[in-house]
Amino acid sequence: MPCGVKVIMRMIEIEIAGKGKAIARLDERNPAIGEAFYAALPMQGTASLWGEEVYFDVPLQMTDENPSPTAEAGDICYWSPGPAFCIFFGKTQPYSAVNHLGRVTRGLEIFRKAKAGDRIVLRRILADAFSPS
C-alpha cells in the first residue's frame, strides 16, 4: 500500500445493556455481507444463548457468501437461517455454517455475563487508520 494512503477500518460497538461494551473489527472474509450489515447499523435485539455463543435476530435476509462450519472465540458472524448476528466467546461451534464478519478486539469477557433476554445494541464506530510511512 502506498505511503499516506488512508484506510478505513470498519469497527462496531456491541453493548449488552447494563453489562458492558465490546469492540469488534469487521474483516474481508464475507465482504458483501459485511458491507450490508455495517450499512444497516445501528440495530438492536434480544439476546439468546447457545453454549458459549450469544446471538439475536436481525432484520437482514442475505444469501450465504463464504459460509464456514467453524468459529473461534471472538468471531462475530451472520447466520442466514435466522437470520441472526452471532458472537462466539468460547469453544461452542455454530449450529450450522455461518458467515464470518470480523472479530471482537476488546471486551470479549462481557459475553460471559450475558443472559437470555438481555438487550444488545450494535453501533458503528468510524476508525481511520493510515498506512505506515
17-32 pLDDT, tens digit per residue, is: 999 999 999 999 999 9
The answer to pTM > 0.85 is yes
- The answer as to whether 30 is a domain residue is yes
> Looking at residue 126, what is its pLDDT?
72
Cell triple for 57:
435476530
* CA pair distance 22, 107, nearest whole angstrom: 4
Identify the CATH number of the domain in which residue 24 sits.
2.40.100.20
Average the pLDDT over 97-103 and give the result: 98
For the stretch 116-125, pLDDT in tens is 999 999 999 9
Domains contained in the chain, number: 1
- The answer as to whether 133 is a domain residue is no
pLDDT band for 131, please (50, 70, 90 cuts): very low
**Are the beta carbons of 76 and 107 closer than 8 angstroms?**
no
User: How far out from the chain centre does Cα 64 lie?
Assistant: 15
